[in-house]
């Protein structure tokens, strides 16, 4: 595997670094403190083609592949994990689900608005009492003529309040039946469909997370993705790609934490020399650099396989598991290298630290990734 950027990747990286310096860095701590979801930034990312990276040009997207997509998420996440997370969720979950399983008519109806960020997308699978146990979801859809009536709630939904459209998985069959759930596309405003409580989070605070509430919410039958009963199976396939997204998010945060720590260690003087010259610090940097390189190899391997249309269930889980755990370790060591200053908001280390932990939880915890991997290797 070559980790050097191709021409498209380099173009994307340069564009994001320039955009980030002008439009993200100056305000990101304000957004973090106030938990403001900067919708205008995502509109600008849409103008740059970054809200429909994988969407074919015929539907208004950029038409790139997973290598470019991973690069975009990682470069954004180096700057601010919140922006990287929201960009990834919009691309891989809501937009990705419609792209992968929508009919031609559905794609032409919704993808152009999503790819340009005219509309922000959300995706609803998780519920308050069914996190990893999605098969026991309690949000129910019952058919009524040409419509389905949804009742229930989802939580931990990225862009739950600010989104214009959501792909929601609801139970249409028996509890626990993997073929008893269906994917619905719901536009706003739809009567009976609303956002609930906004979460007050440790990190990723500029990425909005809320509940979705359904109270006799009527959705047209034509808004079903694929066939009735395919929603859970579709979701597992969507999450295969989503885990590559979270691996890329983890990679970017880890790289950001490492680069900040490296620069500080070269500048910070103790006992008349830079602290980077002390073995205790130098070895930390060596471990961080090595683990980040390994995480990048796993992530880009999964991306390359996804580009080729291969099954990536095991490889995406491996990438997500390892990269997310590396992200937490790198962020932790970054704070340690900064010392007391790493615990203050005057330096970037503390934000990388707070943002990193979600990567081991979102889109399947580390424990779930080990379950996925073990099942694959024990076949």
Label the pairing between strands 121-124 and 273-274: unpaired
Report in angstroms the alpha-carbon separations of 171 from 177, 242, 321: 9, 22, 29
Residues 6+ apart with CB under 8 A from 280: none
Is 363 part of the annotated catalytic residue set?
yes
d(CA 292, CA 296): 6
Q: Which residue has the tokens 């862009």?
A: 159
148 close to 157: Cβ distance less than 8 angstroms? no
Q: What is residue 141's three-state secondary structure?
A: strand
d(CA 288, CA 256): 11
Catalytic position from the list 291, 333, 363, 367: 363
For CA atoms 338, 344, 349, 353, give the dihedral sign.
positive
Assigned token pair, 12: 């994307």
**Which residues share a beta bridge with 152?**
214
DSSP sequence for 361-378: TTTS-HHHHHHHHHHHHT
Instruction: Give catalytic residues, as residue numbers.
Output: 363
């Amino acid at each position: 595997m070559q980790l050097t950027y191709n021409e498209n990747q380099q173009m994307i990286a340069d564009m994001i670094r320039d955009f980030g310096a002008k439009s993200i860095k100056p305000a990101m701590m304000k957004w973090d403190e106030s938990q403001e979801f900067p919708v205008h930034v995502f509109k600008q990312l849409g103008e740059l083609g970054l809200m429909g990276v994988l969407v074919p040009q015929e539907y208004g997207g950029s038409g790139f592949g997973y290598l470019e997509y991973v690069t975009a998420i990682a470069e954004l996440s180096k700057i601010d994990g919140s922006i990287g997370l929201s960009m990834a969720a919009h691309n891989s979950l809501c937009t990705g689900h419609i792209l992968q399983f929508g009919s031609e008519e559905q794609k032409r109806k919704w993808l152009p608005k999503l790819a340009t960020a005219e509309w922000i997308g959300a995706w609803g699978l998780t519920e308050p009492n069914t996190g990893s146990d999605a098969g026991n979801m309690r949000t129910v859809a019952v058919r009524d003529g040409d419509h389905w009536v949804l009742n229930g709630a989802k939580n931990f939904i990225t862009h739950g309040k600010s989104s214009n459209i959501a792909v929601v998985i609801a139970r249409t069959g028996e509890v626990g039946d993997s073929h008893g759930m269906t994917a619905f596309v719901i536009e706003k405003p739809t009567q009976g469909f609303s956002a609930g409580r906004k979460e007050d989070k440790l990190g990723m605070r500029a990425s909005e997370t809320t509940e979705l509430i359904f109270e006799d919410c009527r959705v047209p039958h034509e808004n079903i993705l694929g066939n009735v009963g395919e929603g859970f199976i579709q979701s597992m396939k969507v999450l295969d790609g989503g885990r590559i997204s979270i691996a890329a998010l983890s990679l970017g945060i880890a790289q950001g934490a490492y680069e900040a720590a490296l620069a500080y260690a070269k500048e910070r003087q103790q006992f008349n020399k830079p602290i980077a010259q002390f073995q205790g610090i130098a070895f930390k940097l060596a471990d961080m650099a090595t683990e980040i390189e390994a995480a990048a190899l796993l992530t880009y391997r999964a991306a390359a396989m996804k580009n080729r249309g291969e099954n990536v269930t095991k490889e995406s889980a491996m990438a997500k598991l390892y990269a997310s755990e590396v992200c937490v370790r790198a962020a932790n060591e970054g704070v340690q290298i900064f010392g007391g200053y790493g615990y203050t908001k005057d330096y970037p280390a503390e934000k990388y630290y707070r943002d990193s932990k979600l990567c081991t939880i979102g889109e399947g915890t580390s424990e779930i990734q080990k379950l996925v991997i073990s099942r694959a290797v024990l076949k």
